[in-house]
Structure 1
Amino acid sequence: MDKYSSAEQTISLNPVTIPSLINIAIKHGVNANTLLNDVGISAESVTDPKATLTLGQLDALYSACGTSMGNAAFGLQMGRITRLDSLNLVGSLIGTADTLNHAVDHYRRFRELLHPFMDMGISVHGKEAALIYAPTIANEITLKPYYCEMFLSGIAKIFSELTRKQLKVTRMEFSYPDPGYADVYSEVFEAPIFFNKGQSAIIFESSILDQPLPGRYPELNESFEIQAVKYLMELDRLNSVECQVIRYLQENMGIRPISMQDAARRLNVTTRTLQRRLKKENTSYVSIRESIRFKQAQLYLTETTINIDEIASRLGFSEPTNFYHAFKRWAAISPGEYRRANKQVRPEAEAEALTA
């Protein structure tokens, strides 16, 4: 079992997860720039589909939003303002589904396009159905009340939007103790609330799951599904271990020495696990590192006047001669020969080199 903490676990983001949270904070007078800086998230990563954070950073953002708004029940508040049109392509897919069961199937299949871990399960017992909060990553962070509040109140809102009538909740069950604002739960769900249960779930009449939805549109739904499959395939590629290692090395090479242990820690796995997963993807840490070193070396040699000894140091070589031999292996010529043949130094690069 991997030894690193839940907070260090790396997760991928998407264009929905963080902006929706920030928008709510802004509406409550919170400065978005201050909020992101306080939790160590760059503004660029908010809309970058390739961005990754640690689970701890995402949790810190949720927590900071609640604190900044002075509202312990902000998870319920976020869920209440959820709308299909705020869920991008997945919202369109769900909105044209035949039935609620069909909509749930779509969400579960394409959930990663919306959120890194919020998932659900459905259990049907006779006339009752339970829609259960079942995060794909279950730990001390993802099981915090505000994630469950956000998810279940959001699902209740979406179900009402899909059926075009208020979801009649039989009762609500939560696996944790009363957080101190049970009255807000009652107001949001308009049903009996029970804490310290074996699950966190919305209980409702099972008969509505297979009733035709007023917005069903099979042909359009099929078109949305084709698009969603393409996006999911691209997301899977970006989430590959190889791509995660590449991003980590690109972000850090030239700033400080990086080892395989550093990369493994960033991905919240052991070194052995990292090696095994990369092998499964038909690559290795060394081959990825060497590829990035070569590309970075080419940039330094053609677009700056940084001397070769400094380039070697920036790329993590202990001795310039090691860099010399490696570059000759990569390019079949020496670094100096490559620079003379390909030099394209911009005027401002001269100044950059002087301050490097």
Structure 2
Amino acid sequence: MSAPLHNDPLPFITLPNWVNAAAHCGFNIRPIFDELGIQTNLVNLEEATISLPLMGQVMEACVERSREQHFPFVLGETFAFDYLPDLATFVATSPTLRQAVRVFDWVRTLINPMIDVRLEEEGELARLVLVREQDPAEPEGRIGAYFVESLFAAIIKFGRSIAADLEADAVLRLRFAEPPYAAVYARSFRLPVRFSQPLNALEFPRNRLDQPLAGGFPSLHGQAEQRVSQRLAKMPRRSGLIAAVEAVFDQEPRLLGQGIERVAQRLDLHPRTLQRRLHEEGEAFAELQGRVRYRRALQDLEDPKLDLETISERLGFSDRRSFTRAFTRWAGASPSEFRRRGGGKPPLG
């Protein structure tokens, strides 16, 4: 993921989690927000934003005020998907760890684009790697380390909630040097930690990815995924290359049924360049193509004058059956059933 510009606003939907973590550490975070001029309107929380430097100031102030506990650890350990319960349901009902880690694809979009965690597999090892391209002029400092600590505290918390023996064979590897409070790690993480490593990653045996989890609940898992897909499909268009690709699809819907080569040609890019740059923005071409198709399908199904054959053709499907299969996978209901439930309203979960 490309590093955001320092003054670009970041989503701050996690604001309640910061409030909760501060309370656990024995102080009220409101004076910090007031002092830094941060708006705390929970009514429009999904629209709340904060700049990276300002978030760093909040973190630094919280660490200073938390005398008895290390605030980043508490922030991660108390994190909950309060305003995105479908993500919590998806993780809790995952049949395997491999399925559960797919949540990070959505976290980048719905929570914070800087939370770019990717699954890597090499030999007998699997790693959840935090992808962070640092500005060479600003090497990762103490504040950056605080955010890494809080992220992995949250990852380990959720990992342990679905695989109780996670610490038995996992290792946490961190890029920064061992801090003065390193002894606190043992109490908080309860697994081996290695500092001054080439990457920030939680490492564990690869075979753990496909072992059945006790909380696996396929029907609820599928419903949660459908609701997240619906939420993503209705999100406003994003910036950068993702927006450019969506604009191309809007201008030439026929490209929805064609591959990345034709879209790359339309943007005057090599297909590999388009694929790489989309990856840097946290997106895959197939996922973007599917999301645009789903969003346009929701719109078209609200128009009673459009029959399913016409909609299928408009979305670039080879035939109605292909459209029906894809839409059923997205929405959990066929296009016909979806219309009968209320003219395009999402099915009840």
TM-score (norm 2): 0.59
Given that residues 6 and 141 in structure 1 are in contact (C-alpha distance below 8 angstroms), is that contact kept between their aligned partners in structure 2? no
Q: Secondary structure at the match of 1:48?
A: helix
Q: Which position in structure 1 is the counterpart of 2:7?
A: 8
CA distance in 2, matches of 1:64, 1:115: 21
The counterpart of 1:43, out of the listed 34, 40, 44, is 40
Given that residues 133 and 151 in structure 1 are in contact (C-alpha distance below 8 angstroms), is that contact kept between their aligned partners in structure 2? no
Query: Which piece of structure 1 moves more, 174-183 or 116-125?
Result: 116-125
Q: Which position in structure 1 is the counterpart of 2:58?
A: 61
Given that residues 175 and 197 in structure 2 are in contact (C-alpha distance below 8 angstroms), is that contact kept between their aligned partners in structure 1? yes
CA distance in 1, matches of 2:90, 2:17: 19
CA distance in 2, matches of 1:28, 1:160: 22
How big is each residue's C-alpha offset from its partner over 1:49-91, in whole Å with a ceiling of 9 and x where there is no partner?
1222222222222222212213683212322334577862211
Give the superposition deviation at 1:128: 2.1
Give the superposition deviation at 1:186: 2.5
Alpha-carbon spacing, 1:169–1:87, altered in 2? closer, same or farther (3 Å): farther
Alignment of 1:159-238 (within 5 A): 159-237=159-237
Q: Which position in structure 1 is the counterpart of 2:71?
A: 74
Given that residues 110 and 228 in structure 1 are in contact (C-alpha distance below 8 angstroms), is that contact kept between their aligned partners in structure 2? no
How big is each residue's C-alpha offset from its partner over 1:107-151, in whole Å with a ceiling of 9 and x where there is no partner?
32343223342121222233222221224x755598711111111
CA distance in 1, matches of 2:155, 2:49: 26
CA distance in 2, matches of 1:233, 1:205: 35
Q: Which position in structure 1 is the counterpart of 2:111?
A: 114
TM-score (norm 1): 0.58
| Aligned: 1:104 with 2:101 | yes
Give the superposition deviation at 1:162: 0.9
CA distance in 2, matches of 1:172, 1:142: 18
Alpha-carbon spacing, 1:61–1:26, altered in 2? closer, same or farther (3 Å): same
| Aligned: 1:26 with 2:19 | no
Given that residues 169 and 189 in structure 1 are in contact (C-alpha distance below 8 angstroms), is that contact kept between their aligned partners in structure 2? no
Q: What amino acid sits opposite 1:230 in the alignment?
A: Q
Q: Secondary structure at the match of 1:98?
A: coil
Given that residues 90 and 113 in structure 1 are in contact (C-alpha distance below 8 angstroms), is that contact kept between their aligned partners in structure 2? no
Q: Percent identity?
A: 24
Q: What amino acid sits opposite 2:20 in the alignment?
A: N
Q: Which position in structure 2 is the counterpart of 1:291?
A: none
Given that residues 169 and 190 in structure 1 are in contact (C-alpha distance below 8 angstroms), is that contact kept between their aligned partners in structure 2? no
Q: What amino acid sits opposite 1:192 in the alignment?
A: P
CA distance in 2, matches of 1:85, 1:167: 26
Alpha-carbon spacing, 1:8–1:111, altered in 2? closer, same or farther (3 Å): closer
Query: Which piece of structure 1 moves more, 104-113 or 147-156?
Result: 104-113
How big is each residue's C-alpha offset from its partner over 1:143-170, in whole Å with a ceiling of 9 and x where there is no partner?
7111111111211111111124443244
Q: Secondary structure at the match of 1:11?
A: strand
Point out the structure with max Rg over C-alpha.
1
Give the superposition deviation at 1:106: 2.8
Q: Which position in structure 2 is the counterpart of 1:306?
A: none
Alpha-carbon spacing, 1:141–1:217, altered in 2? closer, same or farther (3 Å): farther
Alpha-carbon spacing, 1:33–1:79, altered in 2? closer, same or farther (3 Å): closer
Number of equivalences: 235
Q: Which position in structure 2 is the counterpart of 1:296?
A: none
Q: Superposition RMSD on alpha carbons, in Å?
A: 3.0
How big is each residue's C-alpha offset from its partner over 1:157-215, in whole Å with a ceiling of 9 and x where there is no partner?
11111124443244321111112111112233333322111001122222111111222
Q: Which position in structure 2 is the counterpart of 1:283?
A: none
Given that residues 98 and 212 in structure 1 are in contact (C-alpha distance below 8 angstroms), is that contact kept between their aligned partners in structure 2? yes
How big is each residue's C-alpha offset from its partner over 1:269-296, in whole Å with a ceiling of 9 and x where there is no partner?
xxxxxxxxxxxxxxxxxxxxxxxxxxxx
| Aligned: 1:131 with 2:132 | no
Given that residues 40 and 57 in structure 1 are in contact (C-alpha distance below 8 angstroms), is that contact kept between their aligned partners in structure 2? no
Structure 2 residues not aligned, in runs of 5+: 241-349
Structure 1 residues not aligned, in runs of 5+: 242-356
How big is each residue's C-alpha offset from its partner over 1:253-283, in whole Å with a ceiling of 9 and x where there is no partner?
xxxxxxxxxxxxxxxxxxxxxxxxxxxxxxx
Given that residues 94 and 107 in structure 1 are in contact (C-alpha distance below 8 angstroms), is that contact kept between their aligned partners in structure 2? no
Alpha-carbon spacing, 1:162–1:191, altered in 2? closer, same or farther (3 Å): closer
Q: Secondary structure at the match of 1:53?
A: strand
